[in-house]
């Protein structure tokens, strides 16, 4: 990882793939990832970790299947939200968004349990920014 400041604007401009996060830096045992998102992701669950989202541009919506029922949270630019571990969720961005995620290194983007992964979804644990 770089020992110099990182421009998130430049990081986001360096790739076009949707739902395919880039690791911009690491903090202890956590990845700081940015991603461009548009349309729907897939329903998935992270069994052992929370998932943090910060919307850098656009709007992200996250549908949640909670014990009391299903609901959707709306996250406009500049808002943050944490999906608690064990909660099934599906992020989507009807008109596109840029997001920052903070997750333990090695956390798959599709969680531990998920719907079938469509071809456009990159299910890795994030790509180094330089890739």
pLDDT tens by residue, 20-48:
899 999 999 999 999 999 999 888 899 99
Encode burial over 118-131: b for 16+ CB neighbours within 10 A, e otherwise.
eeebbeebbeebee
The reported pLDDT for the residue numbered 131 is 46
Q: How far apart are CA 75 and CA 83, in angstroms?
A: 12
The low-confidence residues of the chain, meaning pLDDT below 50, are 131
18-112: which CATH topology? Answer: Jelly Rolls (2.60.120)
């Amino acid at each position: 990882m770089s020992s110099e400041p990182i421009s998130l604007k430049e990081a986001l401009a360096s790739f076009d793939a949707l739902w395919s996060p880039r690791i911009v830096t690491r903090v202890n045992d956590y990845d700081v990832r940015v991603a461009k998102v548009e349309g729907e992701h897939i329903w998935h669950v992270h069994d052992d970790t929370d998932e943090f989202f910060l919307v850098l541009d656009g709007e992200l919506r996250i549908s949640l299947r909670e014990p009391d029922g299903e609901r959707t949270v709306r996250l406009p630019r500049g808002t943050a939200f944490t999906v608690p571990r064990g909660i099934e969720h599906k992020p989507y961005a009807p008109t596109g968004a840029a997001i920052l995620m903070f997750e333990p290194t090695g956390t798959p983007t599709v969680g531990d349990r998920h719907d079938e992964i469509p071809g456009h979804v990159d299910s890795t644990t994030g790509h180094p920014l330089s890739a």
